[in-house]
Amino acid sequence: MSIEITYTFDNQFQSSICKSTQMKVNSTNTPIKKKSKFIPYLLLLSTIMFFQYSWSQNISVKIIDATTKEVIPYATINIDKKEHLISNAEGFFNLPETALQDDNTLIITYLGYKNLEVKVSQLSKLDYIIALTPTIFELDDVQVNGEKPNPYSIMATVKANLAVNYGSKNSPTKDMLFVRKSTATYPNEIVVDVNQSTGFSKQALKKVNNDIQSFTNTLIASPPKEYTDMLCNLYTNTIKKDNKSFVSHKMNVLKATVLKNEGSATSSEELKQIGIKTMLKHLDSTKYYRIKSGLIGSRDTISLRKDFNKKKIKSKSSDKSTLLTTTKYNLTQFIQNNNLGTSSEHDFINNPDLYRYKFEGTTFTEDNDYAFVLTFSPKKSKAKYTGKLYINESDYAVLRAEYQLDEGEKLNNVNLKWLLGIKVAQNNNKGILMYRKKSDEKNYYLHYASEENGNYFYVNRPLKFIEITKEDKDILSLDIKFEGNATTKTEFLNLSHSLVTDIDVTKVVENEFKLVAIKSYDPKIWKGYHAIEPLAELKRFRVKD
């Protein structure tokens, strides 16, 4: 059905109305002689539908410093005191359409800045940019019990209160969590030399070398990257069995996506498997082989035989480990490792004797209390980090921690370059931890965490594919040199933390889930859901066909 509207208006507005109402409109600006009494109603309806359409999606808002105009990363955005979002490293946060009611109040907080309340209806007038005003550090006037704050006394009290501030109350809880993980491998050099081949013709060997060269060129030109996003509800409860207490977790995944090049690899193990498959394509597909590297031999049998791989697939299918169980385990381990009350991961908090601390001043907290600001650096050789801490003056809880490896420091350094041709060093480890006080209890939970790890790797090893047979053996012998860097970044956001009952947890039914493969980041995928606004790098990433 088509309707001609007898009214004059500009092309841009006319185009908008057409899209919203799916009506056919005269495309010229000349008045149509025949007029209709329904024109005002149609225009009103079209206008309403146009604005409804423009708001029926998640929107992006930017937070900046009111004085410097610089972006403010990792600010907390409270939606009507129910859910808590976070601005990303570029200062943006994503507001879902479920929170776009005009009367909703956003409370934006960031340590070192004044709290700011903004109605959703005000965002358009602000051009979706929110400016926070910094608070003033008054060093000369700060006193604790009539004396200047001593950073070492502050840290001693922090350590004494860790169990109280971050301990579990054993009450059943429900947490809505968003987790983004990105991994990438950046090869600097890949060299593969075939030095022996008993089962290859010259033509086949040439094809092998061409395939290997193509594989290595692709890796260097397009470093493999992978991004996974997940939104889930995590239920935690303490159960008793045989007079012993156990922490139990149940997880329901609401949405999960993966963005990666098809067939690409982002870990050394995946790269190894792809390399082996490349070699196997040129070996006899009816035979069985094993791999040997130098003096180290593998007991694993590899082959392209269909009956052999069917057995392997069947063996894998009987494995009880599923995507749900592995994801839940990794997530709960991440939370546990960043629990300051039970974990020893962060020695600049739980082992302050290793560090030098400097009192930098005070600022206001989200609840308008005072927070001490301390910086730290290594004092003893075991200390590896530098950074900054924000500590609540009332209960000495760490509200925020920023840390990174000190210049020149490395973790987990293994150098067997001359003995085995292997060197691995963790040359980057930095992060941000933010904690919020539970609304119904006095202790704290992990609100946001960003953890980035970087590893340098060097492998220079011989590799042999040896046929498993009692007769003459086919052998393919190579020398492989592989050098580069790998990075992993995990972002964790607790959107809402609430108490539930034992019955609530018992009723939860866990369901297996699948990662939805996407070819580029599309905000429509997260329409109506909570998500951390992606960085520009992720928005630019496209899967190559």
Q: What is the pLDDT of residue 53?
A: 37
Q: Distance between CA atoms of 359 and 532, rounded to whole angstroms?
A: 33
Q: What is the pLDDT of residue 544?
A: 72
Report helix, strand or coil for 90: coil
The per-residue b/e assignment along 402-428, b for 16 or more CB within 10 angstroms, e otherwise, is bbbbeeebeeeeeeeeeeebebbbbbb
For residue 113, the domain's CATH number is: 2.60.40.1120
Q: Would you say 427 and 410 are in contact if contact means Cβ atoms under 8 Å apart?
A: yes
Is 522 within the bounds of a domain? no
- Shared domain check, 167 and 106: no
Burial class of residue 504 in the structure, from the number of CB atoms within 10 Å of its CB (0-12 exposed, 13-18 middle, 19+ buried): middle
Q: What is the pLDDT of residue 250?
A: 95
Please state whether beta strands 59-65 and 129-132 pair in parallel, antiparallel, or not at all (unpaired). parallel
- Shared domain check, 223 and 275: yes
Q: Distance between CA atoms of 212 and 199, rounded to whole angstroms?
A: 17
Counts of helices then strands in the chain (DSSP H, E): 11, 21
Q: Distance between CA atoms of 188 and 465, rounded to whole angstroms?
A: 26
- Shared domain check, 180 and 309: yes
Blockwise average pLDDT, block size 10, the chain, 545 residues? 32 37 40 46 43 54 94 90 87 83 88 90 92 73 67 96 89 94 87 71 74 78 88 92 85 94 54 61 68 59 55 49 92 95 92 95 85 95 95 95 93 72 87 90 90 90 76 72 90 93 93 92 84 88 77
The distance in angstroms from the start CA to the end CA of the chain is: 40
- Shared domain check, 87 and 190: no
Paired with 248 in beta bridges are 237
Is 533 within the bounds of a domain? no
Q: Distance between CA atoms of 94 and 87, rounded to whole angstroms?
A: 8
Residues whose CB falls within 8 Å of the CB of residue 121, separated by 6 or more in sequence, listed in order: 102, 103
Here the tokens at position 440 are: 């119904």
Here the tokens at position 58 are: 């998640």
- Shared domain check, 238 and 93: no
Is 19 within the bounds of a domain? yes
Is 497 within the bounds of a domain? yes
Q: What is the pLDDT of residue 511?
A: 93
Report which secondary-structure segment, H or E, holds 478.
strand 475-499
Q: Distance between CA atoms of 100 and 128, rounded to whole angstroms?
A: 13
Q: What is the pLDDT of residue 435?
A: 95
Q: Distance between CA atoms of 486 and 453, rounded to whole angstroms?
A: 8
Give residue 64's Cα distance to chain centre: 23
Domain range for 31: 11-55
Is 524 within the bounds of a domain? no
Which domain-ending residue is among 156, 181, 203?
156
- SS3 track for 232-300: EEEEEEEEEECCEEEEEEEEEEEEEEEEECCCCCCCHHHHHHHHHHHHHCCCCCCCCEEEEECCEEEEE
SS percent in the chain: helix, strand, coil, step 5: 25, 40, 35
- Shared domain check, 227 and 84: no
Q: What is the pLDDT of residue 439?
A: 78
Is 290 within the bounds of a domain? yes
Q: What is the pLDDT of residue 261?
A: 73
Q: Distance between CA atoms of 386 and 460, rounded to whole angstroms?
A: 34
- Shared domain check, 200 and 319: yes
- Shared domain check, 263 and 146: no
- Shared domain check, 83 and 225: no
Is 2 within the bounds of a domain? no
Which domain-ending residue is among 114, 136, 156?
156
* Residue whose entry in the numeric block shows the structure tokens 């960031």: 110
DSSP label of 182: E
Q: Distance between CA atoms of 32 and 42, rounded to whole angstroms?
A: 16
Q: Would you say 477 and 194 are in contact if contact means Cβ atoms under 8 Å apart?
A: yes
Which amino acid does the sequence have at 13? F
User: How many structural domains are present in the chain?
Assistant: 3
Which domain-ending residue is among 108, 134, 156?
156
Neighbours of 222 (CB within 10 A): 11
Residues whose CB falls within 8 Å of the CB of residue 139, separated by 6 or more in sequence, listed in order: 360, 361
- Shared domain check, 129 and 38: no
- Shared domain check, 311 and 235: yes
Report helix, strand or coil for 436: strand
Neighbours of 209 (CB within 10 A): 14
Is 529 within the bounds of a domain? no
Neighbours of 23 (CB within 10 A): 16
Report which secondary-structure segment, H or E, holds 335.
helix 323-337
Which amino acid does the sequence have at 315? S
Q: What is the pLDDT of residue 214?
A: 79
Q: What is the pLDDT of residue 203?
A: 75
- Shared domain check, 82 and 50: no
Q: Would you say 169 and 441 are in contact if contact means Cβ atoms under 8 Å apart?
A: yes
Q: What is the pLDDT of residue 288?
A: 76
Nearest alpha carbon to residue 312 among 303, 322, 324 = 303
Stated length of the chain:
545
Overall pTM surpassing 0.75 (yes/no): yes
